[in-house]
């Protein structure tokens, strides 16, 4: 079959934490999820074209041209909640041009709200959760004009009715999945404001997360059992990125990279044995770090770790079920700095129980930790999160908020908690102030300049600083 895969624009769909200039300066990444799906479909012998809206100078024309010349039988589209409307418009465009085209959608928007997402779109099939096995089976069945009613992990429509099939078990052997089909995209058109090297790529080495932070929708997506690719497979993928695409830097997008300490140590050893010489960053938790681990990570090329510090108040951390304390955040940051690794810190305002006082504690924590980069944001009630459900029970948001968002009745992409004592506008104002205070400090700028490793890095960071000045 001819299959067109589309990744909607991330830049046009960002939730507006920052102004457009800052959002744009932050960078653009390929959808790894869509590239995994593409790899499986290629393996199955289908003909593939992939369009990533953000990397095309004229994406609308590119889609129209592909529909006219490639004549896809199937359109596969990646849908996050925030790109839902755009994805639906693309699906409509495809159906107008090719009425018989079958549209399959997958990604967080489908997984967190399958029925509303189908109800308010023209998608024919929705793939829920991990998509590789489901999509392969769905296409085999469609190709042979078989019965899709028994395929686990999908939602589909027949006439005006929607049918939700049972769940598909998670993939146990991640190594059975092929590498993302990066050959379908132009890797040099992606960028990240923080990357040191021009040639930078993204990768995922594990799926799932065993923790229970209430603001996260992890329980819905890849499950709470952490599963990993084998270290051999991960290092081979890194080697391929280096040899085939000249990649010198990798950003690991795993939900939780260090869940298994032993795996991390063995992974670092394998990098060293293979003399890989690639620098990388990952995401982890402050309670999973120790000196010995950091030492080997640094030797193996780790130059930055992202941590969700979230709050400077222990009661709030407890409410968030984050499972960490402020002391652990401080201790961890000390160790990471000593190891010569950069820190990227996430801090959150507007959590349940938040007051001006607890916000000040979080700001103080950020200035004591002094991460190399920091994101200060509002706690967003994302669909499928325990925080959203809690807010519903507290009558702070309506249970059908996201359904109404998908229906186009609500346009606020970032619902958050607010109270008479701490209204949303006040939190927005605090975020603006703290961003300026944090990033426009002469000390911070001097330190950043001293750490610049290349001209592209310098240009990107000057652009970002310019964007912050107008913030």
Binding site partner of 46, from ligand B12, ligand SF4, none, Cβ cut-off 5-8 A by kind: none
Cα distances from 92 to residues 74, 103, 122, 142, 330, in angstroms, run: 13, 9, 7, 20, 51
Instruction: Report, in Å, the least distance between residue 276 CB and ligand SF4.
Output: 26
> How many residues line the site for ligand B12 (CB under 6 A)?
42
The alpha carbon dihedral of 235, 278, 38, 219 has a sign of positive
Mark 224-263 with x for binding to ligand B12 (rule: CB under 6 A) and - for no binding.
-----------------------------x-x--------
Q: Does residue 381 belong to the site contacting ligand SF4 (CB under 6 A)?
A: no
In this chain, which of 25, 31, 196, 332 binds ligand B12, going by CB under 6 A? 31
Return the number of the residue (213 or 279) whose C-beta is nearest ligand SF4: 213
Query: Is 211 a residue that touches ligand SF4 (CB under 6 A)?
Result: yes
Q: Which does 211 bind (CB under 5 to 8 A by kind): ligand SF4, ligand B12, none?
A: ligand SF4
Would you count residue 267 as binding ligand B12 (CB under 6 A)? no
Scan residues 383-402 and list those touching ligand B12 (CB under 6 A). 383
For residues 310 and 322, is the Cβ–Cβ distance under 8 A?
Answer: yes
- Residue 96 tokens read as 């107008």
- Choose from ligand B12, ligand SF4, none: what does 52 bind? Cβ within 5-8 Å by kind: none
301 binds ligand B12 (CB under 6 A): no
> What residues does 161 pair with on adjacent strands?
158
| HEC secondary structure over the chain | CEEEEEECCCCCCCCCCCCHHHHHHHEECCCHHHHHHHHHHHHCCCEEEEEEHHHCCCHHHHHHHHHHHCCCCEEEEECCHHHHHHHHHHHHHHHHHCCCCEEEEECHHHHHCHHHHHHCCCCCEEECCCCHHHHHHHHHHHHCCCCHHHCCCEEEEECCEEEECCCCCCCCCHHHCCCCCHHHCCHHHCEECCCCCCCEEEECCEECCCCCCCCCCHHHCCCCCCEECCHHHHHHHHHHHHHHHCCCEEEECCCCCCCCHHHHHHHHHHHHHCCCCCEEEEEECHHHCCHHHHHHHHHCCEEEEEEEEECCCHHHHHHCCCCCCHHHHHHHHHHHHHCCCEEEEEEEECCCCCCHHHHHHHHHHHHHHCCCEEEEEECECCCCCHHHHHHHHCCCCCCCHHHHHHCCCCCCCCCECCCCCCCHHHHHHHHHHHHHHHHCCHHHHHHHHHHCCCHHHHHHHHHHHHHHHCC
Residue 34 within binding range of ligand B12, rule CB under 6 A? yes
Partner from ligand SF4, ligand B12, none contacting 130, C-beta within 5 to 8 A by type: ligand B12
257 or 405: CB nearest ligand SF4: 257
Angle at which helices 291-299 and 326-338 cross, to 10°: 40
Instruction: Spell out, one character per residue from 415 to 434, where the chain touches ligand SF4: x when CB under 6 A holds, - when not.
Output: --------------------
The span of 27-35, 267-275, 355-363, 435-443 binding ligand B12 (CB under 6 A) equals: 27-35
Which one of ligand SF4, ligand B12, none interacts with residue 37, CB within 5 to 8 A by kind?
A: ligand B12
Tell me the per-residue interface mask from 77 to 96 with ligand B12, x by CB under 6 A, - otherwise: xx-xxxx-------------
User: Please, is 437 exposed, middle or buried when counting C-beta atoms within 10 Å of its C-beta (0-12, 13-18, 19+)?
Assistant: middle
153 binds ligand B12, rule: CB under 6 A? no
| Interface residue with ligand B12, options 88, 121, 135, 328 (CB under 6 A) | 135
Query: Considering the complex, what minimum distance in angstroms separates the CB of residue 27 from ligand B12?
Result: 8
Q: Does 216 bind ligand SF4 (CB under 6 A)?
A: yes
Q: If contact means CB under 5 to 8 A according to the sort of partner, which of ligand SF4, ligand B12, none does residue 80 touch?
A: ligand B12
79 or 379: whose CB is closer to ligand SF4? 379
Among 230, 229, 232, which Cα is nearest to 271's?
Answer: 232
Q: Is 15 in the site for ligand B12 (CB under 6 A)?
A: yes
255 binds ligand SF4 (CB under 6 A): yes
Q: Which CB atom, from 258 or from 339, has the smaller least distance to ligand B12?
A: 258
Q: Is 130 in the site for ligand B12 (CB under 6 A)?
A: yes
Is position 209 an interface residue for ligand SF4 (rule: CB under 6 A)? Answer: yes
Total of chain residues touching ligand SF4, rule CB under 6 A: 10
Binding of residue 213 to ligand SF4 (CB under 6 A): yes
Quote the CA–CA distance of 367 and 378 in Å, as a whole number. 18
Residue 377 interacts with ligand B12 (CB under 6 A)?
yes
If binding is defined by CB under 6 A, does position 252 make contact with ligand SF4? no
Which spans of this chain sit near ligand B12 (rule: CB under 6 A)? Answer: 10, 13-15, 17, 29, 31-34, 36-37, 76-78, 80-83, 104-109, 112, 127, 130-132, 135, 204, 216-218, 221, 253, 255, 377, 380, 382-383
Interaction site with ligand SF4 (CB under 6 A)? 209, 211-213, 216, 218, 255-256, 285, 308
């Amino acid at each position: 079959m001819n299959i067109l895969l589309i990744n909607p624009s991330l830049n046009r769909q960002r939730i507006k934490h920052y102004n457009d200039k800052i959002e744009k300066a932050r960078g653009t990444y390929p959808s790894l999820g869509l590239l995994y799906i593409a790899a499986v479909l290629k393996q199955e012998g289908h003909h593939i074209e992939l369009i990533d809206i953000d990397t095309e100078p004229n994406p609308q024309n590119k889609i129209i041209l592909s529909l006219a010349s490639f004549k896809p039988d199937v359109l596969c589209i990646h849908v996050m909640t925030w790109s839902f409307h755009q994805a639906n418009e693309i699906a409509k465009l495809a159906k107008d041009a090719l009425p018989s085209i079958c549209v399959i959608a997958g990604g967080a928007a489908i997984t967190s709200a399958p029925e509303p997402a189908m109800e308010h779109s023209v998608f024919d099939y929705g793939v829920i959760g991990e998509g590789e096995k489901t999509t392969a089976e769905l296409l085999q069945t469609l190709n042979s004009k078989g019965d899709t009613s028994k395929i686990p992990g999908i939602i589909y429509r027949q006439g005006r009715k929607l049918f939700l099939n049972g769940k598909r078990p998670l993939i146990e052997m991640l190594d059975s999945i092929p590498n993302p089909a990066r050959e379908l995209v132009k890797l040099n058109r992606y960028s990240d404001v923080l990357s040191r090297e021009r040639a930078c790529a993204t990768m995922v080495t594990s799926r799932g997360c065993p923790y229970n932070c209430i603001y996260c929708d992890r329980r819905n997506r890849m499950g709470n059992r952490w599963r990993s690719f084998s270290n051999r497979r991960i290092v081979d993928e890194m080697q391929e990125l280096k040899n085939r695409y000249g990649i010198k830097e990798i950003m690991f997008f795993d939900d939780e990279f260090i869940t298994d300490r032993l795996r991390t140590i063995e992974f670092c050893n394998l990098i060293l044995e293979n003399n890989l010489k690639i620098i990388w960053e990952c995401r982890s938790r402050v309670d999973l770090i120790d000196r010995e681990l950091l030492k080997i990570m640094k030797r193996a090329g780790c130059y930055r770790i992202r941590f969700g510090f979230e709050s400077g108040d222990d009661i709030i951390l407890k409410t968030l079920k984050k499972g960490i304390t402020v002391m652990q955040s401080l201790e961890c940051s000390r160790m990471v700095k000593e190891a010569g690794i950069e820190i990227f810190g996430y801090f959150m305002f507007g959590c349940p129980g938040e007051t001006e006082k607890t916000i000040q504690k979080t700001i103080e924590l950020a200035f004591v930790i002094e991460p190399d980069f920091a994101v200060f944001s509002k706690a967003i009630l994302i669909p499928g999160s325990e925080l959203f459900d809690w807010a519903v029970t507290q009558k702070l948001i309506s249970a059908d908020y996201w359904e109404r968002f998908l229906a186009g009745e609500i346009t606020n992409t970032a619902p958050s908690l607010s109270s008479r004592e701490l209204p949303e506008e006040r939190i927005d104002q605090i975020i603006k102030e703290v961003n300026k205070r944090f990033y426009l400090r002469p000390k911070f700028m001097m330190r950043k300049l001293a750490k610049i490793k290349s001209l592209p890095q310098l240009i990107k960071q000057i652009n970002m600083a310019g964007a912050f000045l107008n913030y």
